């Protein structure tokens, strides 16, 4: 149980284009989903927290107009990197927290590697 | 504030060696503590957790004990395998929202 998927797993795009990454909880309802960014050989940095049906809360320094987050249902959140640039190349990981008894454990997706040329 | 410090790697061990990865934390209140493992090219997988002082989390031969007096949550395994090669992250949360991760420790196990 508690499986989180991400799609796509890898994406290469040209500078200036937008890229959408999907995060799905496959076997549980996720009231809250989180988006992280991970640079090579570094830890995860929380970008934003999204609750189903409401606006995402962004961490300091994260541009909300550049990283659009939509959490339209209890099983799906999307991250859109708008007008991507090479510096946006990174590993993006989502996680989800269930609606059940364990309100602390986050279950992570496999990540999406974005390369902007 | 909240933070996690873990030993820097990389760590290289021979198969069947004993593993310890140190993790210490600072936190307000009474956090829950976690170890996550990341295999190459993949996301993080929950390895084990502990929610209160003196709790021991264990999974797949790994274990860690929540030590409030030393603010530590060291990861141990008695006999590592090649398949344990990965990056290990120590983390804490107070609320379930904000997770604070350590910088990760890369482990390589050689046959």
Q: How far is CA B50 from CA A9, A105, A110, B58, B62, in A?
A: 31, 10, 23, 9, 13
Tokens of A113: 């590697």
Q: Give residue B24's pLDDT band: very low, low, confident or very high (50, 70, 90).
A: very high
Query: How much is the average pLDDT of B49-72?
Result: 96
Pairwise pLDDT comparison (B91 vs A106), residue with the higher score: B91
Q: Is the pLDDT assigned to residue B100 strictly greater than 80?
A: yes
Q: Which of B23, B31, B39, B44 to mutate to test the interface with A (most CBs of A within 10 A)?
A: B44
Neighbours of A13 (CB within 10 A): 16
Model pLDDT for residues A51-86, shown as the tens digit of each residue: 888 889 999 999 999 999 998 888 999 999 999 999
Nearest to B44 among A6, A41, A93 (CB): A93
Structure confidence at residue A29 (pLDDT): 86
Q: Give residue B90's pLDDT band: very low, low, confident or very high (50, 70, 90).
A: very high
Structure confidence at residue B40 (pLDDT): 83
Closest chain B residue to A104, measured at CA: B96
Q: How far is CA A39 from CA A13, A22, A111, B74, in A?
A: 18, 19, 12, 25
Least confident of A20-24, A57-61, A87-91, A103-107: A103-107
Q: Give residue A42's pLDDT band: very low, low, confident or very high (50, 70, 90).
A: confident
Q: Is the pLDDT assigned to residue B20 strictly greater than 70?
A: yes
Average pLDDT, chain A: 89
Q: How far is CA A78 from CA A40, A45, A51, A97, B56, in A?
A: 23, 17, 12, 15, 36
Q: Is the pLDDT assigned to residue B98 strictly greater than 90?
A: no
Q: Give residue A99's pLDDT band: very low, low, confident or very high (50, 70, 90).
A: low
Distinct helix (H) and strand (E) counts, chain B: 0, 12
Give the DSSP letter string of B55-92: -EEEETTEEEE-BTTTTB--EEESS--GGG-EEEEEEE
CA B25 to chain centre: 11
Nearest to B49 among A4, A105, A111 (CB): A105
- Closest by CA to A2, choosing from A97, A115, A117, A88, is A97
* Contact criterion met (CB below 8 Å) for B21 and B11: yes
Length of chain B: 111
Q: Is the pLDDT assigned to residue B82 strictly greater than 80?
A: yes
């Amino acid at each position: 149980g508690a499986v989180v998927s991400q799609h796509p797993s890898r994406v290469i795009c040209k500078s200036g284009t937008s890229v959408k990454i999907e995060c799905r909880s496959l076997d549980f309802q996720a009231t809250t989903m989180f988006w992280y960014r991970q640079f090579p050989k570094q830890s995860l940095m929380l970008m934003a927290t999204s609750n189903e049906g409401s606006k995402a809360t962004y961490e300091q320094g994260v541009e909300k107009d550049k990283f659009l987050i939509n959490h339209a249902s209890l099983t799906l959140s999307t991250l859109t990197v708008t007008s991507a640039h090479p510096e946006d190349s990174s590993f993006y990981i989502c996680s989800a927290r269930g609606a059940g008894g364990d309100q602390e454990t986050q279950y992570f997706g496999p990540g999406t590697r974005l390369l902007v040329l | 504030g909240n933070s996690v410090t873990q030993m820097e790697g990389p760590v290289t061990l021979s198969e069947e060696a004993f593993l310890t990865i140190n993790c210490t934390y600072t936190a307000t209140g009474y956090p829950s503590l976690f170890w996550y493992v990341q295999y190459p090219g993949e996301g993080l997988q929950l390895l084990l957790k502990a929610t209160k002082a003196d709790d021991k989390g264990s999974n797949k031969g790994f274990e860690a004990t929540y030590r409030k007096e030393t603010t530590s949550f060291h990861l141990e395994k008695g006999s590592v395998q090649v398949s344990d090669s990965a990056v290990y992250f120590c983390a804490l949360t107070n609320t379930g929202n904000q997770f604070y991760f350590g910088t990760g420790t890369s482990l390589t196990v050689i046959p």
